[in-house]
Amino acid sequence: MLFKSIVVGPMQVNAFVLACERTKKGIVIDPGENVPGILELVREDDIDIVEVVATHGHIDHIARATSLVSELGGVPFVIHPDDDFLVEHLEDAGRLFGIPTDPPPAIDRHINEGDTVTFGDETLNVIHTPGHCPGNITLLWEGHAIVGDVLFAGSVGRTDLPGGDSEVLMRSIRERLLPLPDDTEVYPGHGSFTTIGHERATNPFIVGN
């Protein structure tokens, strides 16, 4: 699989471009800002983007989804249905945080627990990992997990925004992420990449809890 990442926007979001090496079909994950930079990653390998996927609906992850979808010719935008309310109020969140945004993207497909995201020969499994917000998802393939804002290197997602719940967050981490193999590469929505084993052994929010 082709795997690329770029840090975008004032909140330093990790946006991703994934693609099938054989077919060059691909997806973009979490276009929070810097549409030109994301498109450069797409075009340097002539990737045919088939969907734009959001790990969740917070402004820093979807602020430029509408622009990116338009630049890509109207490809589908997909998100978990529990975060529809965050998409709907994208511009309100922009005004609250002083961050310019696009109008809310049209939601073309909902992805739920047990669904898949497919591009060419590649398939990602969707697991629902709420707590940071109601609709946070993790995109999982062998040895790798894109986790949105549920787990970070040395930390966990904040729960003080609408829909956040610290008990639900920790249950998502304990029951959905920590059972993964230790060498699973973890790609959070912000900050450094890590592994499940490293976080199980050293993350102060997990060790002893």
CATH at residue 59:
3.60.15.10
Q: What is the pTM of this model?
A: 0.97
CA distance 183 to 172: 19
Residue 82 lies in a domain: yes
What is the total count of domains within the chain?
A: 1
CA distance 22 to 29: 20
Buried b / exposed e along 16-37 (16+ C-beta atoms within 10 A): bbbbbeeebbbbbbbbbbbbee
Residue 207 lies in a domain: no
What pLDDT was estimated at residue 97?
A: 87
What pLDDT was estimated at residue 115?
A: 98
Which amino acid is located at 17 in the chain?
A: V
Residue 134 lies in a domain: yes
CA distance 62 to 56: 8
Residue 198 lies in a domain: yes
Which amino acid is located at 182 in the chain?
A: D
The pLDDT profile of the chain, 209 residues, written as one tens digit per residue, is 999 999 999 999 999 999 999 999 999 999 999 999 999 999 999 999 999 999 999 999 999 999 999 999 999 999 999 999 999 999 999 999 888 999 999 999 999 999 999 999 999 999 999 999 999 999 999 999 999 999 999 999 999 999 999 999 999 999 999 999 999 999 999 999 999 999 999 999 999 76
Q: Which domain holds residue 171?
A: 2-202
Residue 209 lies in a domain: no
Residue whose entry in the numeric block shows the structure tokens 């929505």: 189
Instruction: Decide: 2 and 28 in contact? Cβ < 8 Å.
Output: no
CA distance 96 to 59: 10
What pLDDT was estimated at residue 208?
A: 74
Residue 154 lies in a domain: yes
Residue 115 lies in a domain: yes
CA distance 121 to 152: 29
